[in-house]
Amino acid sequence: MANTEWWQRGPVDGIPAVLQPVAHILLQVRESVGELVENLTQPEWNARPAGVASAAFHVRHITGVIDRLFTYARGGALSADQFAALRAEGEPLSAADVATVLDALNARVEAAVAELRTIDVATLGDFRGVGRTQLPSTVIGCLVHGAEHAMRHVGQLSVTTRIARAGNA
């Protein structure tokens, strides 16, 4: 683990002050996932101890939730590719695909942080409909939820990987 978490490393260049916590969480998510899954075996990636979601699910879901919530923050609707990725989140992961899954997470976090640099803070309170039923949210609501939901899954990933490594899957 790094000596300090991202929120203790100072501001992220180019990110408006009000969005710094979102950037810090996203960068912490990326770093923590990398540490938690380092050297997992294929059985450990796919283990579902006590029927909980696998490490493979959590990493794919983290990537997907950031992607989906940032899409909503932009006022967009989910694409067919995003729905396909959502359906595939729970699929078993082959050893050959681990790097691809981690690269996708890294790229999604980089894109999200880059997007934070472009957001006009005057729009943070603007309405954003979420999902097919257009549940009411705001730009900042989508951004914050994308980051905090991703971090919630980091916590679940932490427990799952520890149990899987202990052979209690």
Q: Which domains does the chain have, with CATH numbers?
A: 15-165 (1.20.120.450)
DSSP letter (8 states) at residue 134: T
| Separation CA 53–CA 59 (nearest Å) | 10
CB of 165 within 8 A of CB of 35?
no
Question: Which residues, including other chains, have CB under 8 Å from residue 95's CB and lie 6 or more apart?
Answer: 41, 42, 45
The pLDDT tens digits for 7-63 are 999 999 999 999 999 999 999 999 999 999 999 999 999 999 999 999 999 999 999
Q: Tell me the whole-structure pTM to 2 decimals.
A: 0.94
Closest CA to 129 of 79, 77, 65, 68: 77
